[in-house]
Amino acid sequence: MSGDGILSRRRWVGAAAGAVIGVGMIELGADAAESGGDDKLLGAKVYNVREFGAKGDGKTLDTAAVQAAIDACTRDRGGTVLVPAGDFVVGTLELKSNVTLHLAAQGRLLGSGTIEHYHAGNGIPKSNGNIVLLSAANAENVTIEGRGTIDGNGAKFYNGRGDNTGPGQKSSEG
């Protein structure tokens, strides 16, 4: 710094580089503290689905990897499950307590086109073809957020006809 308190560009860049290195060290310290059992960061961890094996290539079935990220987040008492840029093909996923599902701007959960990749959510009767893409039974503090997309691929399964089992239908009458 010069005597008048003004920082030259060269010194500012040097100071900024030191700040970036310092932040990286703080992040490393935070990771080390979290793995050591420090409760100060509980609920703040981010679980990137790619780190659990999700490909996001629009072809690979990523259900198991995304569910593994959700399960790990819940096991660690909460946090954010990140769906980064990519097309993540999934079947039924169960959201759980204290999980924020964050879809990045170019992140997309795309429902599989194969009916066998789905099942009824917990607490939903398995009859009448009740299948779901996302469910959250007996869960608290569940959030879905972000600028990404959830595309259930419903057009693949819609046949234009109901099964007369919905509300107001007289399915029990012959």
Q: Is the pTM of this model over 0.75?
A: no
- Given a cut of 70, the residues of the chain with pLDDT beneath it are 1-38, 126-129, 160-174
Give the Cα-Cα-Cα angle 24, 30, 35 (nearest 5 degrees). Answer: 130
Q: What is residue 156's predicted lDDT score, i.e. its pLDDT? A: 82
Q: What is residue 128's predicted lDDT score, i.e. its pLDDT? A: 60
The Cα–Cα gap between 158 and 15 comes to 60
Q: What is residue 154's predicted lDDT score, i.e. its pLDDT? A: 84
> Which residue type occupies 32?
A
Q: What is residue 23's predicted lDDT score, i.e. its pLDDT? A: 35
Q: What is residue 130's predicted lDDT score, i.e. its pLDDT? A: 76
Q: What is residue 68's predicted lDDT score, i.e. its pLDDT? A: 98
Domain 42-154 has CATH 2.160.20.10: yes
Q: Which of the 8 DSSP states describes residue 31? A: H
The Cα–Cα gap between 102 and 152 comes to 17
Q: What is residue 129's predicted lDDT score, i.e. its pLDDT? A: 65
Domain map (residue ranges) of the chain: 1-39, 42-154
CB-based contact 34:41 (threshold 8 Å): yes
